[in-house]
Amino acid sequence: MNNLERNNALVARARRVIPGGMYGHMSVQRMLPAGYPQFFDRAEGARLWDVDGNEYIDFMCAFGPMILGYRHPGVEAAVAQQRSKGDTMTGPSALVVELAERFVDQISHADWAMFAKNGTDATTLCCTLARGATGKRKLLVAKGAYHGAAPWCTPSPKGVIEEDRSHLVHFEYNDVASLTAAAQSAYGDLAGIVVSAFKHDAFVDQALPTREFARAARRISDETGAALILDEVRAGFRLSLDTSWSSLGVEPDLSAWSKAIANGYALAAVLGNDRFRDAATKVYATGSFWMQATPMAAALATISALNELDAPKRLEALGQRLRTGLHSVAQRHGISLRQTGPAAMPMMLFDDDAKLARGNAFCTGMLELGIYMHPWHNMFLSTAHTEGDIDRAIACADEVLANI
Amino acid sequence: MNNLERNNALVARARRVIPGGMYGHMSVQRMLPAGYPQFFDRAEGARLWDVDGNEYIDFMCAFGPMILGYRHPGVEAAVAQQRSKGDTMTGPSALVVELAERFVDQISHADWAMFAKNGTDATTLCCTLARGATGKRKLLVAKGAYHGAAPWCTPSPKGVIEEDRSHLVHFEYNDVASLTAAAQSAYGDLAGIVVSAFKHDAFVDQALPTREFARAARRISDETGAALILDEVRAGFRLSLDTSWSSLGVEPDLSAWSKAIANGYALAAVLGNDRFRDAATKVYATGSFWMQATPMAAALATISALNELDAPKRLEALGQRLRTGLHSVAQRHGISLRQTGPAAMPMMLFDDDAKLARGNAFCTGMLELGIYMHPWHNMFLSTAHTEGDIDRAIACADEVLANI
């Protein structure tokens, strides 16, 4: 096991002053097997160093925000330039207009943009806009999907009351009959259908949306006047430079973005079409830091770089290289490894591994060799990952799987 | 009127791609009379420049986040140092532990800290913690108080459904009988009492909490097991280096902080006592950028500087100087000006001015002389404001009031 002496000292201090030592998706104690560091010292490109100086090739990319590599020179330069002028001010800078124009140019369905801080801000605002525009209450949400940590969507029931979810109706992702039944049960009161870019639930195989499912969601929205809300928070810009559903020929009414749009700077966006513009002028949406200028400078630089690099194509190629390599290695060792969902967002689960014994053993083994992977959550690639990084991960997997 | 040519060109562009041209508290069109700029170019100390180069002494301080002055050297240096290492990473840096320790040392009632991005995140999390810890549902909230922009608390009803607020019970701030009646109506089901640091509702006279009211809130919480939740988002660190209620001898169970705690960097905090620690380990609270390291570096530097400067004392002195000066000037011109609430957070309303004709005329007049004030929202002072800035504002008020 890596030396985690400084990490463990910090963990002990953290237990005194932070509930459980850490919370949410950042809690290593609750999320990951022993051996994972809780605290990090620095990051550069695709590399991450923990507080004990252990170096990792990072396949989590900060759980998504990092898409161009940590401390990307172009993004950092844009941020530094804006910071020399102003960041959080008594009003927005001109960048909010430039960035809204950029999103409207980039994303087919978007006629307008609004900005916030958290992915949860964006998904919640989409729901409020759907209800505001339609005057209806029911929201269809896929079972097991993660749309944020507000009371209406948080995965833990602690502190949530029945009324927080009384107008949610659940359906199975990619199941047209289930979606249709949910819509029928909301008959006459349907405000919106909330769908993730793909099925990226934790602990289970991932699934890309079928064309039939996407079209059914669009058709039901059209027939009922409900909003089709696409949650792009996790996948946005990793699968496409338009929405992740553009390849299916299906456009949402509203879409929620965050994570990768500013390469690690705190920003979220809601994009919408003109049918929802009037409601968007009437909903009171705001936050003290929502007009912060530097994340908008970062977003403009990030979106430019993603276009220049044709990032989704690059991430797909890296992901396929990883998937093919891991498949070969696992096969050679006679191990059944399921790699599901889009290659750019790798998800690996072992067969007959309900308690994650194999997944945990594999990931802790990889960690000791300097590869930071996750046993039950989708991973992320960045344009800073090289073919050499991928090949290194495959070689390490070969070594680890030999001993599992 | 100031030249607003560039501003107006941006406003026209914004109308195409941003609903209503701008939203929330940043919308000049909906919030303020003609003449106010919508877009700003830069900020330094207590000064703000709009995109047309008009310079203002800023009495809004970014609606609160700025407390040490824009681009404060100590804060910027701390941020630059952390940025050279890492910001949003796959886990937190050691700064989250240091900052939690710092808050626990600084704020009497706090045994632990959690961090988020928006003030709304913090107030909402306090409510979830109160419900989670008590297993009860009702929340007492003062009529007209602003606690954020989530469906349970946003001031606009658009898109909000009845269930979002079905367990809120309203009372009048500072009215013990009203608070007691609200608690009685929630009998057996009371989860928490949510109170602002003082009554800082928009459009009306402000009011500091009475000792009787604060003690009643504490007593009801003690008797029922409910959480006393202090919303320090707007006032935090401007009135005290402990909670704003520390001078009343009343401690909350949970407190929500944001705005000024990192001098403009996006950060929010929830502080709690040990009675709520267990619930805090069970509520799923998280966001993609909540562990961003640079705002935590900014917060540590900000809290140190606030202590070194004894900021609340300094802000009180500046506020009293402004209040006394404006009072004299108004009196000399025979105008009745009401200045209410804490001097460090100035609020000015004119008598017989229900439609704000005088307030608007005064503020637009001040704006033309380079003083940025607000006609119906509390204002903010910073330690970067000088006596000269205050005297300049008073002299400008003299000139403007002569013509009203």
Q: Confirm if A67 and A262 have CB atoms less than 8 A apart.
A: no
Strand order in the sheet with A138-142: A112-116, A268-272, A254-257, A227-231, A190-196, A138-142, A168-171
Q: Check residue B337 and give its pLDDT.
A: 96
- CB-CB under 8 Å, A26 with B291: yes
Token reading at A310: 């044709």
A190: left (phi over 0), alpha (psi -120 to 50) or beta: beta
ipTM of the complex model: 0.98
A residues 106-135 closer than 8 Å to B (CB): 111-114, 117-121, 124, 127-133
Per-residue pLDDT band at B1 (split at 50, 70, 90): confident
Backbone angles phi, psi at B77, to 5 degrees: -65, -45
The string of pLDDT tens digits covering residues A193-205 is 999 999 999 999 9
Residues of chain A with C-beta less than 8 angstroms from the C-beta of B149: 284-287
Report, as an integer, the average pLDDT of B41-66: 98
Residue contact A39–B94, C-beta within 8 A: yes
Q: What is the pLDDT of residues A130-155, one digit of tens each?
A: 999 999 999 999 999 999 999 999 99
Question: CB distance B288–A26 less than 8 Å?
Answer: no
The reply to whether A257 touches chain B by the CB within 8 Å rule is no
Percent share of chain B, pLDDT over 70: 100
Whole-angstrom distance, CA of residue B380 vs CA of residue B358 = 21
Contact: B39, A93; criterion CB under 8 Å: yes
Whether A266 sits inside 8 A of B88 (CB atoms) is: yes
Distance from CA of A229 to the nearest CA of B (A): 15
The reported pLDDT for the residue numbered B262 is 98
Digit-coded pLDDT (tens) for A63-120 = 999 999 999 999 999 999 999 999 999 999 999 999 999 999 999 999 999 999 999 9
Q: Calculate helix-pair angle for B357-368, B387-402, nearest 10 degrees.
A: 120
Does residue A36 carry a pLDDT above 90? yes
CB contact under 8 A, B92 and A23: no
Contact across the interface for B18 and A287, Cβ inside 8 Å: no
Record the tokens describing residue A146, joined without a space.
């993660």
Write the residue in B58, B121, B159 that is nearest to A128 by C-beta.
B159
Q: How confident is the model at residue A3 (pLDDT cuts 50, 70, 90)?
A: very high
Give B334→chain A minimum CA distance, Å. 32
> Distance (Å, rounded) from C-alpha A136 to C-alpha B58?
42
Per residue in B156-195, pLDDT (tens digit) is 999 999 999 999 999 999 999 999 999 999 999 999 999 9
pLDDT higher than threshold 90 for residue A292? yes
Instruction: Quote the mean pLDDT of chain A.
Output: 98
Q: What is the percent of chain A where pLDDT is above 70?
A: 100
Asked if the Cβ–Cβ distance from A43 to B86 is below 8 Å, we say yes
Residue A12 in this model has a pLDDT that exceeds 90 = yes
Q: How far is CA A157 from CA A109, B69, B126, in A?
A: 34, 42, 15
Q: Show the tokens assigned to A81.
A: 């330039």
Of B290, B225, B276, B228, the residue nearest B255 (C-alpha): B228
Phi-psi domain of B128 (left: phi exceeds 0; alpha: psi -120 through 50; beta: other):
alpha
pLDDT given for residue B126 in this prediction: 98
Nearest CB partner across the interface for B131, out of A90, A129, A161: A161
The model's confidence at residue B404, banded by pLDDT at 50, 70 and 90, is confident
φ and ψ of A164, to 5 deg: -60, -25
B positions 309-368 inside 8 Å of A (CB): none
Mean pLDDT of the A350-368 span? 97
A158 contacts on B by Cβ (under 8 Å): 128, 132, 279, 282-284
pLDDT of residue B396: 98
Q: In B, residues 212-241, which contact A (CB 8 Å cutoff)?
A: 233
Buried b (16+ CB within 10 A) or exposed e, B117-136: bbbbbbbbbbbbbbbbbbeb
Compute how many other C-beta atoms are within 10 angstroms of the C-beta atom of residue A77. Answer: 12
Contact A114 B22 (CB under 8 A): no
Q: Give me the mean pLDDT over the A175-180 stretch.
A: 98
Q: Which pLDDT value is given to residue B256?
A: 99
Mention every residue, 6+ apart, whose C-beta is less than 8 A from residue A241.
Answer: A106, A306, A307, A310, A311, A312
Each residue's pLDDT tens digit, B241-286: 999 999 999 999 999 999 999 999 999 999 999 999 999 999 999 9
The reply to whether residue B39 touches residue A70, judged by beta carbons under 8 angstroms, is no
pLDDT of A321 reads: 98
Chain B residue with CA closest to A29: the answer is B281
Residue A277 near chain B (CB below 8 Å)? yes
Separation in Å, CA of A30 to nearest CA in chain B:
10
Contacts of A374 (CB under 8 A, 6+ apart): A32, A59, A60, A363
Query: Does the pLDDT value for residue A1 go beyond 90?
Result: no
